[in-house]
Amino acid sequence: MNCLDFRRECLIDPNSRDTQFLQHRDACPACAAYLERGEVAEASMREAFEVKVPDGLASRIKLGQVTKVRQRQSQQRWYAVAASVLLLVGGLQFAWFTHQFDSFEQSVLVELNSHSDLLTRQVAMRSDEMAGEFRKAGLTLEQQPANLLGVHYCWVHGVSGLHMVFQGEQGPVRVLILPDRQLAERSDINDGEQRGYISPVERGALVFMGEPGESLQLIEEQVGRSVNWL
């Protein structure tokens, strides 16, 4: 089980006792922290909904029925309470989902393991479809490489980018172009099965990942020749 599968399972059944789920939790500190944050957020939401009924509420409700004005006032107070609870729950959910990844590297791995349709393509996307995805990311394709199977506009850790899939010698090679991501140095990444690296460039960052033994440098050279940054 990789990080993407684990986090999907967290959303479906965070209390899963599946062997692969538990093994990945124990082996991956980032995903273990993700699961813990989800449990904390869920507990906070449950607590928010446990609104204690004030003492003497029944008497006040009866008193409020004396006039329609008082009845409306009582309803308005409870509407305000309900709205406050919903705002609190929404805030907790927003805080959880906007901090669901511990690091830029974890966000990269999740994106690289998304869009399985790109990885299984046998025929390349049409050039006009690719051009549209490139424009969304602020890029243009000067010359389409013969081994470029497909592309997808994406968001990674708060910045927009382009997810590309090339056919390499050992299998599909996944590439991310992130024009607005500035990095200080190159770093290696892996998802337990494939290997790759994140490389800083003048106007952003490039990510490459493929099967062991794949010549990622050749793919990087292809990207450099064929992609223009607007």
Residue 99: predicted pLDDT: 47
53 DSSP assignment: P
Measure the CA–CA gap between 205 and 69, rounded to whole angstroms. Answer: 63
Residue 104: predicted pLDDT: 86
Give backbone dihedrals phi and psi of 209, rounded to 5 degrees, phi first.
-150, 135
Residue 101: predicted pLDDT: 47
Measure the CA–CA gap between 159 and 182, rounded to whole angstroms. Answer: 10
Kindly tell me the sign of the dihedral angle through the C-alpha atoms of 27, 29, 30, 32. positive
Residue 79: predicted pLDDT: 64
Of residues 118, 116, 113, 119, the one with CA closest to residue 133: 118
**Where does 104-229 sit in CATH, by number?**
3.40.1000
Q: What is the dihedral of CA 108, 227, 133, 5, to 10 degrees?
A: -20
Mean pLDDT, 10 residues at a time, the chain of 230 residues: 78 86 85 77 65 63 60 64 63 50 80 79 84 92 90 89 93 92 90 92 92 94 88
Measure the CA–CA gap between 101 and 29, rounded to whole angstroms. Answer: 12
Beta strands in 10-82 (DSSP E): none
